[in-house]
Amino acid sequence: MKELSTSTPGRVCLFGEHQDYLSLPIIAAAISLRIGISGRRRDDSNVIIHLPDINDEESFPADKPIVYDKERDYLKSVLNVLKRHGLTFSKGVECVVKGEIPINAGTSSSSALIVTWVNFLARMSDQGVELSAEDIAQYAYEAEVLEFSEPGGMMDQYSTSMGGIIFLNPFPEIKVTRLNPKLGNLVLGNSGEPKDTKFILARVKNQILRVVAELRKAHPEFSLQTISEPGVDEYAAFLTAEQVELLHGTVRNRDITYQALKALTDRELDHRLIGKLMNEHQDALRDILKISTPKIDRMISAALKAGAYGAKINGSGGGGCMFAYAPEDPRKVKAAIEKEGGEAYVLTVDEGTRAVLSEAN
């Protein structure tokens, strides 16, 4: 009997944190920490998933209507989404999930699991489909975000599925461009601070969406895609001081992302400019969106003092991870982050989701 193994990387958001759900662009990189699923078809219709990393197990029938019995029931929602797209499952599967990606830390462990599960199940379906990276990302987005009316965007699904470094612009329709800069090492630092991703995403997203809604009542032409940062002050009379600051921060982050896109596509990569733009992005995330924490701020400061060119919080914030761009002496940067109490990893940019079929023992 053949055994199938699929694996998918985590990701860091290089530029554009808290932007994709506003239909603004992001730049993300897949990282060399992965989550994998290995398993085979069963003779019956049961799906049995072993989760040794969290000392858990899930099981349910593949050939019957699936009802969710917990919040974010992703392992079931993927099966429902694939069925809606025409795949059938007359046989169940049994598999083991193992991962290296820090859990609930902003490095897309959930999305990477969903992406690799989509890849695994599609190949294990009666049709044996090998989906494109883009289709895997879209189905994962449907299973994770749309199925449960979550506040997130689609950066995580596309970056982990496609791998490498991508520029994703969701407006006016999804367009994903692969970038190929020769980046040096990244150093990821996990603060160990728990984070409430859903709450933080909803808080930040709802704040800026309220601003946009208020402005469009009097100015129907208002657009986050086109407004300039100096132009923000023209709307100050319609907003509170806090809302004006938030709008400035959102537009600044958008502009930093476009500056980073130019820097990453220049013939000669300016590593120090990349770091400088990361630092500017972090300033806005910390001071305006207020998603950083004192411990993460200390980890970032230590990384910069140890020679990193730039550093920023990663993911929705409020805890979790930061990362530093450290093309020179990443081990020194890693040690500095660890001295501040973080768990650190020296990483490279990695490929996207992949699958290997082999003879089972």
Assign residue 116 the CATH number of its domain. Answer: 3.30.230.10
pLDDT at site 300:
98
The answer to whether residues 168 and 34 belong to one domain is yes
pLDDT at site 196:
74
3-state helix, strand, coil in the chain (%, to 5): 40, 25, 35
The answer to whether residues 266 and 320 belong to one domain is yes
Domain of 288: which CATH number?
3.30.70.890
Distances (CA, A) of 89 to 35, 68, 115, 144: 24, 18, 18, 20
The answer to whether residues 333 and 305 belong to one domain is yes
pLDDT at site 233:
93
pLDDT at site 323:
98
pLDDT at site 315:
83
Count of the separate structural domains present in the chain: 2
Strands, sheet with 310-314, edge to edge from the N-terminal-most edge strand = 310-314, 321-325, 186-190, 343-347
The answer to whether residues 8 and 43 belong to one domain is yes
The answer to whether residues 197 and 273 belong to one domain is yes
The answer to whether residues 212 and 355 belong to one domain is no
The tens place of each residue's pLDDT in the chain, 361 residues long, gives 589 999 999 999 999 998 988 999 999 999 999 999 999 999 999 999 999 999 999 999 998 889 999 989 999 999 999 999 999 999 999 999 999 999 888 899 999 999 999 999 999 999 999 999 999 999 999 999 999 988 778 999 999 999 999 999 988 888 999 999 999 999 999 999 988 777 777 778 888 989 999 899 989 999 999 999 999 999 998 899 999 999 999 999 999 999 999 999 999 999 999 999 999 999 999 999 889 999 999 999 999 999 999 999 998 888 999 999 999 999 999 999 999 999 999 999 999 999 998 876 5
The answer to whether residues 246 and 313 belong to one domain is yes
The answer to whether residues 303 and 235 belong to one domain is yes
pLDDT at site 360:
63
What is the pTM (predicted TM-score) of this model?
Answer: 0.93
The answer to whether residues 249 and 326 belong to one domain is yes
State which H helix or E strand residue 229 sits in: none
The answer to whether residues 141 and 198 belong to one domain is no
- Neighbouring-strand partners of residue 29: 12, 165
Instruction: Report yes or no: 3 and 232 within 8 Å, Cβ to Cβ.
Output: no
Closest C-alpha among 271, 220, 277, 217 to residue 253: 277
pLDDT at site 140:
98
Q: Is 66 left (phi over 0), alpha (psi -120 to 50) or beta?
A: beta
The answer to whether residues 63 and 44 belong to one domain is yes
The answer to whether residues 165 and 107 belong to one domain is yes
Domain containing 151: what range? Answer: 2-181+350-359
